[in-house]
Chains A and B, each alone.
Chain A
């Protein structure tokens, strides 16, 4: 019963006034960001990272704040899906299918509260899954040497495009671009400068926080400018909510659905290259196939609301497993969370569990607490968040841009970093127009150095023999999975994609 004892320690860490306050703040901001179309979990967390640093927060409090935002955004996405038929973030896309018809039938309140409960069930079960699965994964990861780690990184990149990837060449391009950006700066092994072109600012390398905020947050501002989308999507919609509690009978019929889809979503979250959007998609499709005997899905069936919400929240929890246990994130938002850990000089991966158990278990305990807070916030107080939808983006987007600038300036105090961030913003806009995913770029800048170091360590240990990379059964296995993960989307990708993205646009590039 190690786990329960560790969890108890975690609660002792999480239950301080400061941490509770941060969790509450994170849940609140996260729900708002999730609800607002245009801000999703990954850019929401990205904007808040600099805030966490400038507050001088330690590792555990920063992570508590930011993962609360992450969980909160997963809850918040459903609000505009149900009320406006516009997904607040990508994982909430499937919730539109039955949520909006329910709202049109006058059942908006029921849909919101039911999806709140479903989100809670999904996230709650996934947090237990995280507790049970992560330590097992750590045991395997402890067997990894440099060669296996190199293979693992390659696997992460090759599967990142995901089953629903539009174009594997573009995913590969994005990964290579990110890795290339990571090589800028002084080489950590030999001390020679690389790709700095004599610019002193570049000797330290590019700060990946600058890259993240530019790519995710500023590019969003450009997208809004391009479409001159200054109004609020809620304008002109009647947002009557009605009763705020789902009838017990509705909860009862949805319970098996929620349990099944939580499990499925969790698995989707753990697997590399899947993430929350796919989690909610397969949850919805499976439930439709399984229980939709009268053809009511798509016309406002409560089970069609519960399934994707439980699925995407469970996937959000599942995605934390590889990030914490292996140090290799499988989705956009967990990549951003990894950036937080790296900036705080904490290396995620198997050693995290032995060296910084307080961080891991404090975080997990905070996730439980945040989940209850979110349930409380999202059912009785949902009316508050629907007001947020009325803020027009011509006011919101300048604030987003300015907070990004303040955050980056607060970390480094240099105008040079701001210019680099603008550069990344423009690059992010162009790449999104060309449908190149941004998450591999981020992951490349984050993991590039670690990947190169492992490669060089492995080859150096074996006296310059490159064959060592595929020497052990473990690394061969990892390479095999990586290859399958890369090739599979080429075969089945088109089919999944067509079903999943009826409206694939720029948003697909930062999908989670």
Chain B
């Protein structure tokens, strides 16, 4: 079932991609092939392979329970927040939170998770910024 859904999504993706390719504006100074041909070949390949996947599915993969999926979703949300907050809160603070969250969700006790977060953040900051001079996001306090 998963593969059938996956294949159908793939076919739709291929159609969308092909339609987007057809709307590419041609420049008046074009080579013999033009900017559309290669994407159209790819779209065909994508469509055919997706169709084959849908028609000849593999055995069902092992999907996690809903709770585990929520776990992954939560991690994605935290990572997105991290990416957005990085320029605002600064590297050290944002990283403490993100790393502590991940450690906590992987099964650390709260205190251990916080320590992992602080350790990761300060460790990366000292190695990459202080030692190697890499510029990290600066927050309101300059770190």
Q: Decide if A54 is an interface residue (CB 8 Å cutoff).
A: yes
B-side contacts of A393, CB under 8 Å: 106
Q: Which one of B71, B87, B107, B121 contacts A226 once the chains associate, using CB atoms below 8 Å? A: B71
Q: Decide if A221 is an interface residue (CB 8 Å cutoff).
A: yes
Q: Which one of A176, A224, A419 contacts B83 once the chains associate, using CB atoms below 8 Å? A: A419
Instruction: Flag if B136 contacts A409 (CB, 8 Å).
Output: yes
A-side contacts of B45, CB under 8 Å: 172, 175-176, 179
Residues of A155-183 contacting chain B, CB below 8 A = 166-167, 169-170, 172-173, 175-177, 179-180, 183
Instruction: Flag if B120 contacts A399 (CB, 8 Å).
Output: yes
B-side contacts of A176, CB under 8 Å: 14, 42, 45-46, 49
Q: Decide if B2 is an interface residue (CB 8 Å cutoff).
A: yes
Residues of B64-107 contacting chain A, CB below 8 A = 64, 68-69, 71-72, 75-76, 79-80, 82-84, 86-87, 91, 95, 98-100, 102-103, 105-107
State A227–B64 Cα separation when bound (angstroms). Answer: 8
Instruction: Flag if B86 contacts A409 (CB, 8 Å).
Output: yes
Q: Decide if A403 is an interface residue (CB 8 Å cutoff).
A: yes
State A452–B40 Cα separation when bound (angstroms). Answer: 12
Chain A residue nearest to B6 (CB atoms) is A434
Instruction: Flag if B61 contacts A434 (CB, 8 Å).
Output: yes
Q: Decide if A395 is an interface residue (CB 8 Å cutoff).
A: yes
A-side contacts of B103, CB under 8 Å: 394-395, 397-398
Instruction: Flag if B68 contacts A422 (CB, 8 Å).
Output: no
Tell me, rounded to whole Å, the shortest Cβ–Cβ distance linking B11 to chain A: 11
Instruction: Flag if B106 contacts A224 (CB, 8 Å).
Output: yes
B-side contacts of A425, CB under 8 Å: 76, 79
Interface residues on A, range: 35 or more
B-side contacts of A194, CB under 8 Å: 21, 24, 35, 39
A-side contacts of B61, CB under 8 Å: 433-435
Total contacts A-B at CB 8 Å: 196
- Taken residue by residue from 51 to 76, chain A's Cβ proximity to chain B (1 for < 8 Å, 0 otherwise) reads as 10011000000000000000000000
Q: Decide if A464 is an interface residue (CB 8 Å cutoff).
A: yes
State A226–B69 Cα separation when bound (angstroms). Answer: 7
Given A183-B39, A393-B106, the answer on whether A405 and B82 have CB atoms closer than 8 Å is yes
Chain B residues bordering chain A, tally (CB within 8 A):
73
Instruction: Flag if A221 contacts B27 (CB, 8 Å).
Output: no
Given A192-B26, A230-B107, the answer on whether A435 and B58 have CB atoms closer than 8 Å is yes
B-side contacts of A409, CB under 8 Å: 86, 136-137
Chain A residue nearest to B108 (CB atoms) is A394
State A412–B35 Cα separation when bound (angstroms). Answer: 28
State A192–B28 Cα separation when bound (angstroms). Answer: 10
Instruction: Flag if B49 contacts A195 (CB, 8 Å).
Output: no
Q: Decide if B128 is an interface residue (CB 8 Å cutoff).
A: yes
Given A176-B46, A433-B61, the answer on whether A228 and B68 have CB atoms closer than 8 Å is yes
State A354–B102 Cα separation when bound (angstroms). Answer: 48
Q: Decide if A498 is an interface residue (CB 8 Å cutoff).
A: no
Q: Which one of B17, B27, B46, B86 contacts A173 once the chains associate, using CB atoms below 8 Å? A: B46
Tell me, rounded to whole Å, the shortest Cβ–Cβ distance linking B113 to chain A: 8
Q: Which one of B26, B42, B84, B95 contacts A402 once the chains associate, using CB atoms below 8 Å? A: B95
Residues of B20-58 contacting chain A, CB below 8 A = 20-21, 24-27, 29-35, 37-39, 42-43, 45-46, 48-50, 52-53, 56, 58
- Taken residue by residue from 105 to 116, chain B's Cβ proximity to chain A (1 for < 8 Å, 0 otherwise) reads as 111100000001
State A464–B100 Cα separation when bound (angstroms). Answer: 58
5 A–B contacts from the bound complex (CB under 8 Å): A177-B46, A179-B45, A192-B35, A401-B102, A419-B83
Residues of chain B touching chain A, judged by Cβ–Cβ distance below 8 Å, are 2-3, 6, 10, 14, 17, 20-21, 24-27, 29-35, 37-39, 42-43, 45-46, 48-50, 52-53, 56, 58, 61-64, 68-69, 71-72, 75-76, 79-80, 82-84, 86-87, 91, 95, 98-100, 102-103, 105-108, 116-117, 120-121, 123-124, 128, 132, 134-137
User: Besides A169-B53, A180-B46, 18 other CB < 8 A contacts?
Assistant: A180-B43, A187-B35, A190-B34, A195-B17, A222-B72, A227-B64, A230-B107, A395-B116, A398-B106, A401-B98, A409-B86, A409-B136, A410-B136, A419-B80, A422-B76, A433-B62, A435-B61, A459-B33
Can you list the 5 inter-chain pairs with the closest CB atoms, starting with the nearest? Answer: A230-B107, A394-B106, A418-B83, A464-B32, A169-B52
